[in-house]
Structure 1
Amino acid sequence: MIVIADGGSTKTNWCLINEAGRKIHFNTEGYNPYFASTEYIEKSLRKNLPSHVEPEKLNEVYYYGAGCSTDVNKKIVADAMQSVFVNAKVSIDHDLLASCRALLGDEPGFAAILGTGTNTCFYDGKEITLNIDSLGYFLGDEGSGSYIGKRVLADYMKGFMPKNLSKHFFNVFGLTNEDIFDAIYNKPLPNRFCASFSKFLYDYKAEFPDYTRNVVETAFVAFFENLVIHYPNYKDYLLNCVGSVGYNFRDILSYTADRYEMGVGKIIRSPIDDLVDYHLKK
């Protein structure tokens, strides 16, 4: 049996392929090694793997994860996986490569992630050939859920959010400014906390279209200005994108891409199905 996983900072999508070739999907939380230790990942896996998944019976594990771009970070995740899937050959790669394989297969092109965080690259059909670092939650991640969520939180805390939307926000979350400061500065996974509020914006998109469009379009303009336009001849490529933020706001993303004279290719919420197909073909 083999299992293939696409792990973001918030959620990991898994697909187990059993001896009969049946695909079994399940989810756990995300395991970004910039925010989660080996011990944390191991404990979470042992707690959250479904009862029908028998870790000791797996032969191969292919895990693609946010933050798994360096040898040090890959080892954090690999050690946790190997301790849980004791008899499996464990392979750890970056989630950006998973996105490339899901979006482009063996074809060259431009691929992006717009989920909890942001990433972009050129792909030659086998490997990533150019990647401009998005610099993560503190310094970049333009266009991501955490980037949009920080704007939503700031507008709420400063009183810039439309009054009725601000009332909805308090009714849904019941957060004071002190609660938000505590979550961001004192509690673990602040990127995930901030990103969660991009969904709130999506939920009220129809009721507050002008505010939503302003926040999201500003984030996507920043995504293009700080990342996309710095790729050589970017206008010659289609924008292929994976992630909940890119997918949920794909109308605004497509509009923004058109402003920068870039065509739009494939936009999907999750790469897992296409990624599994890629591995099965191989």
Structure 2
Amino acid sequence: MMLVADSGSTKTDWGIISADGLTTYFSTSGYNPFFMDIDSIRAAISSEVGVHLAPLEVQCVFFYGAGCQGSQVSNMERALRQVFTAAVTVEVSVDLLATAKALLGDHPGFAAILGTGTNTCLYNGNAITYHIDSLGFLLGDEGSGTAIGKRILTDFLRNQMDSPIRDAFERKYGLHEAEIMEQVYASNYPNRYCASFTRFLDEPEASGKYRERIVGEAFRDFFEKLVCLYPAYRTLAFNCVGSVGYHFSDLLKIEAEGYGMELGLILPTVIERLTLYHYSLR
């Protein structure tokens, strides 16, 4: 049995390739080694994945995850080996490589992640050749769900919403300033908390010009501070995976074309194409 995973900070998508070649998929919570220690990751994977399969039957694990860089790669490998103790192969790579493989296959180009966080790269058909660090949600992650959620929360806390939008926000969430500030500054996963407010933009009161302004500003920030830093970016198609890019693809198209990039493939997740990629290498 082969197991393929694409993990963000919020959600992990898993693909199972059985011995007879059948593929099945399931999802669990996200596992980011920058925010979780080895014991927490091991316990979470063991309890959540164990519902869907017998860990001892897994022979190969290919795990692509947010935060899986530098020393965190070995930490994630250790956590996975403690769960999948019979696995002969356990490989851990950054989630950006999974994105490039799923979006571009063996062709060179530009690939991006627009989900809870962001990431971008140039890919040569085999490996990432150029990468500008998104710097995470405290210093960067422009255009991400976290960045969009922070804009919404800031508007609410500073009373910058029109009355109908503010009333809708209060009805939906019933939050006070102290509660928000505690979650943002004292919770374990403030990035997830902020990103959860992107759903507010689907509310009827917020789904028009307010949605266009908030998301448009976030995407322009993303292009100005990340995408435009890549050499010859205007000669490349903009390919992207992630819930934010997919859900707001209408606004993403406007911004990409405004910066001289044709919109390429936009996917909500990579797991099916990534699993098929590894299946083809068997």
**Does the 8 Å CA contact 2:10/2:30 hold for their aligned counterparts?**
yes
- Superposed CA deviations along residues 190-213 of structure 1, whole A, max 9, x for unmatched, are 111111111222x22675310000
* Residue 123 of structure 1: aligned partner: 123
Secondary structure (helix, strand or coil) at the match of 1:121 reads strand
Number of the residue aligned with 1:77 = 76
| CA–CA separation in structure 2 for the residues paired with 1:236 and 1:209 | 32
For residue 164 of structure 2, what is the aligned residue in structure 1?
164
The alignment partner of 1:220 has SS state of helix
User: Equivalent residues in 2 for 1:72-221 (5 A)?
Assistant: 72-88=71-87, 89-201=89-201, 203-204=202-203, 208-221=207-220
- Alpha-carbon separation, structure 1, partners of 2:199 and 2:94: 25
Instruction: Determine the structure 1 residue equivalent to 2:269.
Output: 270
1:80–1:53 CA distance, 2 compared to 1 (3 A)? same
Structure 1 gap segments, 5+ residues each: none
Q: Which residue of 1 aligns with 2:55?
A: 55
Spell out, residue by residue over 1:200-236, the C-alpha distance to the aligned partner (whole angstroms, 9 max, x if none).
22x2267531000000000000001001111111001
Is the contact between residue 26 and residue 50 of structure 1 (CA under 8 Å) also seen in structure 2?
no
Cα deviation, residue 17, structure 1: 1.2
TM-score normalised over the length of structure 2: 0.96
Identity across the alignment (%): 45
Residues 154-188 of structure 1: per-residue CA shift (max 9 Å, x gap): 11111112322222222222221111111111110
- Rounded to whole Å, the distance in 2 between the matches of 1:146 and 1:195 is 4
Structure 2 matches for 1:30-41, cutoff 5 A? 30-41=30-41
Verify the 8 A CA contact 1:16 1:23 in the aligned structure 2. yes
SS in 2 for 1:146: helix
CA distance in 1, matches of 2:204, 2:8: 24
TM-superposed CA distance for 1:22, in Å, is 1.7
Inter-partner Cα distance in structure 2 for 1:147 and 1:214:
13
Matches of 1:271 and 1:222, distance apart in 2: 25
Aligned to 1:6, what secondary structure does the other structure show?
Answer: strand
Q: Structure 2 counterpart of 1:237, which letter?
A: L
The whole-number CA distance in structure 2 between the counterparts of 1:165 and 1:268 is: 30
- Aligned-partner SS, 2:73: helix
- Secondary structure of the structure 2 residue equivalent to 1:133: coil
Q: Distance in 2 between matches of 1:16 and 1:147?
A: 33
| 1:205–1:212 contact (8 Å) kept in structure 2 | no
Structure 1 counterpart of 2:212, which letter?
R
Deviation at 1:111, TM superposition (A): 0.3
The structural deviation recorded for 1:8 is 0.5
- What's the offset of the Cα at 1:43? 1.2
Tell me if the contact between 1:165 and 1:208 (Cα under 8 Å) persists in the aligned partners. no
CA offsets 1:21-61 (integer angstroms, 9 cap, x no match): 22121111111111111111111112212534000110000
Q: Say if 1:2 and 1:61, in contact at 8 Å, map to a contact too.
A: yes
AA partner of residue 263 (structure 1): E
Q: Deviations over 1:71-127 (max 9, x none)?
A: x11122111111001111211000000000000000000000000001101000001
Give, in whole Å, the separation in 2 of the partners of 1:182 and 1:276: 39
Change (3 A) 1:227 1:54: same
Are residues 277 and 214 of structure 1, via their aligned partners in 2, closer, same or farther at CA, if it must alter by over 3 Å? same
- Stretches of structure 2 that go unaligned for 5 or more consecutive residues are none
Q: Does the Cα contact within 8 Å between 1:111 and 1:241 map onto a contact in 2?
A: yes
TM-score of the two chains, using structure 1 as the length reference = 0.96
The answer for the alignment partner of 2:15 in structure 1 is 15
